Structure 1
Amino acid sequence: METREFIIDESSENIRLDVFLSGEMEDKSRSYIQGLIEKSQIKVNGILKKSNYKLKLKDIVHISIPDPVGLDIEPEDIPLDIVYEDSDVIVVNKPQGMVVHPASGVYTGTLVNALLNHCKDLSGINGVTRPGIVHRIDKDTSGVLVVAKNDRAHNKLAEQLKDHSMTRSYIALVEGILKKDEGTIDAPLGRHPVERIKIAVVKNGKDAVTHYKVLERFKNATLVECVLETGRTHQIRVHMAHIGHPLIGDPVYGYKKQRFNLNGQMLHAKKLGFIHPSTNEYIEFTSDLPEYFKKILNILKNELK
């Protein structure tokens, strides 16, 4: 049985117990959490509480999560764009719209389903639903990511993520005109104090640093390269919105009225580099912008003519 514990700070005061936990536990749905509360698997300060309990400062929330029962992630014959592969790692180019791994309510059509059909030797560190997954990119973000084929490779790649030595560069199309040619956004991120499904810049959040560089300016949009120093959830999307330039097409942090008919934010994982877990040599991979991205850029370029 897995256990988790949270200590409530000022940013989470007066929020319902189930709402808070559904925000903190991204891999669990609100209905699942409510079920745990009903089954006495969640306690606050050692006492059973209802779903609508309003959290207080310094409350200690303890969760006991039963082991999964009978959940089999099936291999699926889904095409993979493999950039590189050897006995330790697979580097894939993930398309926009594909979820990286199964989670509550999504058990098919994911990158993991496709990987299981392609090969059986994936690391088991992250359990049955996330075999081989070292890091993630959002469903509607396209681009390169690395998958570990064994636990040794997984541990070495995870260590590079932890010490920020892995190279991760993204191309983003943002609203408005950035005046500075380059800059750094150093702003801590955590759960939004009210809208718990969102990430926000918060006082007591986790350190988050994004470096950006302007690549091209359009009539009312800017193409930028973003290099991650840290890798927090939705980091680029929240950081760019924080400085007044949300990503075009972003349904969560972007403008309510969008000028293009898009399926999600204009964000592409362009470059990925790391020390190979066996050879100890630095290797780097790049991914071309997908066609939908190029199409929008061409529209913006034509507006300048």
Structure 2
Amino acid sequence: MSDQRSLYVPEGLEGERVDTALARLFGLSRGRAAEVIAAGDVQIDGREVAKSDRVTAGAWLEVLLPPPPSAPVPIAEPVPGMAIVYEDDDIIVVNKPIGVAAHPTTGWTGPTVIGGLLGTGHTVATSGAAERQGIVHRLDANTTGCMVVAKSERAYSRLKRAFHDREVTKRYHALVQGHPDPFRGTVDAPIDRHPSGNGRFAVVAGGRPSVTHYDTIEAFRAASLLDITLETGRTHQIRVHMSALRHPCVGDLLYGADPTLAARLGVQRQWLHAVKLGFMHPATDEYVEFTSAYPDDLQKALDVVAAES
């Protein structure tokens, strides 16, 4: 059932775009907010508006909110290629393969980590929303590597806090186009949804604080292999920051990578891999660390770019 909302625009939203204001007021994505506006379900002081119009503090806002989409349900079935790296009573660490999402989302019809675990008889914590129980962090569907899932409620609570408080070691390797200058550096730039609302993210003034550290492992003729650590864990963070430096991950066509180079190296997704994950074990308080070798597609691309140098 749709939900009619009427309120005065708060002072803190003065000058914001209408789609941004709706997103912040009602927890919508920018894309969903744009759909509500396009349907004519938003009026300010009695007139319909466009998504790029600006709001004025104190204006009377009327919105007909659509009913929330029903949460997708995990499909319990084994995921080919998803290996168990470690398991005990509290946690399970997997080596996530390409094309697997952490948990089901609206619009995703492919395999998920949660579905794969349930489909092979593993149990996960019941904390969290129904479609992502046990999930304490995520990797993009086409980013491979180490990922931990909570099995106990204690593990869920403590690991969620550890990720939130930046007490987790997250190390990635990325093959990026060209040669970053300097070879070692930090990208401190806020990230939010891209104004186009097409599923991308971007460096946006007023976005969520995001910090990425990188160091060049090896520079090849056409690309550089980087070691990357994160202070924050925003969606697509490494991909967005590397693109902002004009050195997108090889194969990452969504963020401006060269399709010719990707084809030459045989890469059909972003060259990005979670090589190491470390944290204090939620039951023992001892530091544990897990690693993951490059999958075949990334290793083959690395071999080709090295041979060309």
Short-chain TM bin: 0.7 to 0.9
Any residues of structure 2 matched to 1:85-100 within 5 Å, and which? 85-100=87-102
Any residues of structure 2 matched to 1:49-88 within 5 Å, and which? 56-57=54-55, 65-66=67-68, 68=70, 72-79=73-80, 80-88=82-90
SS in 2 for 1:161: helix
Structure 1 residues 162 and 48: CA distance shift in structure 2, 3 A: farther
C-alpha separation in 2, matches of 1:94 and 1:184: 27
C-alpha separation in 1, matches of 2:133 and 2:211: 28
Contact 2:37 2:49 in 1 (8 A): no
**Does residue 145 of the first structure (1) align with residue 147 of the second (2)?**
yes
Any residues of structure 2 matched to 1:1-305 within 5 Å, and which? 9=13, 13=17, 15=19, 25=29, 56-57=54-55, 65-66=67-68, 68=70, 72-79=73-80, 80-261=82-263, 262-304=267-309
**1:159 is matched by which residue type in structure 2?**
R
SS in 2 for 1:98: coil
* Superposition deviation, residue 50 in structure 1: 7.7
Q: Which moved more, 1:49-58 or 1:286-295?
A: 49-58
Q: Deviations over 1:26-55 (max 9, x none)?
A: 9xx85x9959998x9x8778x999896655
* Superposition deviation, residue 242 in structure 1: 1.0
Q: Which moved more, 1:211-220 or 1:47-56?
A: 47-56
Structure 1 residues 248 and 24: CA distance shift in structure 2, 3 A: farther
* Superposition deviation, residue 87 in structure 1: 0.7
- TM-score, normalised to structure 1, is 0.82
SS in 2 for 1:160: helix
* Superposition deviation, residue 112 in structure 1: 1.6
Contact 1:249 1:258 in 2 (8 A): no
**1:176 is matched by which residue type in structure 2?**
G
SS in 2 for 1:289: coil
Structure 1 residues 258 and 9: CA distance shift in structure 2, 3 A: farther
* Superposition deviation, residue 224 in structure 1: 0.2
Contact 1:16 1:55 in 2 (8 A): no
**1:56 is matched by which residue type in structure 2?**
R
Q: Deviations over 1:255-299 (max 9, x none)?
A: 353312322100000100011110011100010011111111111
* Superposition deviation, residue 123 in structure 1: 1.6
Structure 1: stretches of 5+ with no match in the other structure:
none
C-alpha separation in 2, matches of 1:102 and 1:49: 38
Contact 2:36 2:66 in 1 (8 A): no
Q: Deviations over 1:52-107 (max 9, x none)?
A: 665533687795755848x6433113243010001111100001111221111324
Contact 1:18 1:51 in 2 (8 A): no
Contact 2:239 2:249 in 1 (8 A): yes
Q: Which moved more, 1:175-184 or 1:161-170?
A: 175-184
SS in 1 for 2:131: coil
C-alpha separation in 1, matches of 2:195 and 2:16: 6
Structure 1 residues 11 and 149: CA distance shift in structure 2, 3 A: farther
C-alpha separation in 2, matches of 1:44 and 1:83: 53
C-alpha separation in 2, matches of 1:149 and 1:36: 41
> Runs of at least 4 residues of structure 1 off by over 4 A?
6-12, 14-21, 32-38, 42-45, 47-55, 58-67
C-alpha separation in 2, matches of 1:11 and 1:277: 45
- TM-score, normalised to structure 2, is 0.81
* Superposition deviation, residue 195 in structure 1: 4.2
Structure 1 residues 66 and 225: CA distance shift in structure 2, 3 A: same
* Superposition deviation, residue 203 in structure 1: 1.5
